[in-house]
Amino acid sequence: MGGGGSAEAEHRRTDTPAPRYRMDAGGAPAMLNSLMYRMCYYNFDRVAVQGGRPMGFDRVRNVEVGVKNIVLNRIDEAFTSENWIVRIYKVRRPPNRASGTYLANRGKRGATSEGAKAHQQQAAAQSQPLGAKYVGCVSSETLLGSDRAYGGGGLGANVRLAKFDAESKGHRYFAVARLGSDGHSFSFSERPRKFDVSSAGCTRPCLDQPDLSCGCADGACAERGDQAVPPEEHNRRWAVYEIQ
């Protein structure tokens, strides 16, 4: 066959249909267990995308995702675009020695681990004034400014990141609705027309600043006894801040 392979091999290549990729429970185990799949659908099962559909329903592929309650052990979500088209993750630092461990080979007495230094830096950052004040809580993103720009991801759980994002866009206000280590955020220039709710979900603490409120989203709101306010589809409490 002149170096082109056997007729049998050629037949196998051309006549065997390619496998169809599936994202539902019938997907191949290699697909459902892949890092790519988990990065695409991390926290997607907490999203109600359409009335009458189950949580985690992929409207593009018209299926319910096959794996839910995804846990990521080595990476953290840093950003998710509004329509979940772009998702960015950051790799976690490997665990360090316990805080206060003496490192004999350093030549310095009392040297602490990198983990302890990071903890000290975080504590120092929390002690600094935020430069923004909490002004109220709303149940709908439509109550936020008309020029609102979506942030999301880690910005929805970390009030200082959300403030930095708002400043970078030239906005005076920002709102956060925390889920877990991530959530949703908006920055905008106009003060909300009204603040329509006051609940335990509104005062849910921020991840980076536990003494401040970062609101709640979806299941985190339900855990606090909050429900979606009609005609809202999503159950959220937006903690609104004004940059000083």
CB 21 within 8 A of CB 27: yes
Alpha-carbon gap, residue 15 to 122, rounded angstroms: 60
CB 159 within 8 A of CB 212: yes
pLDDT at position 137: 97
Task: With 0.85 as the threshold, say if the pTM is over it.
Answer: no
Could you give phi then psi for residue 80, rounded to 5 degrees? Answer: -135, 125
Alpha-carbon gap, residue 33 to 25, rounded angstroms: 11
pLDDT at position 116: 55
pLDDT at position 122: 54
Task: Give, for all 244 residues of the chain, the pLDDT tens digit.
Answer: 444 444 444 444 444 444 467 888 888 888 888 888 888 888 888 776 666 788 888 888 888 888 888 888 888 888 887 677 788 888 887 765 444 444 444 444 444 455 555 555 555 555 678 899 999 999 999 999 889 999 888 889 999 999 999 999 999 999 999 998 889 999 999 999 899 999 999 999 998 899 999 999 999 999 999 999 988 889 999 999 999 9
CB 236 within 8 A of CB 196: no
What are 89's strand-pairing partners? 77
Q: How many residues comprise the chain?
A: 244
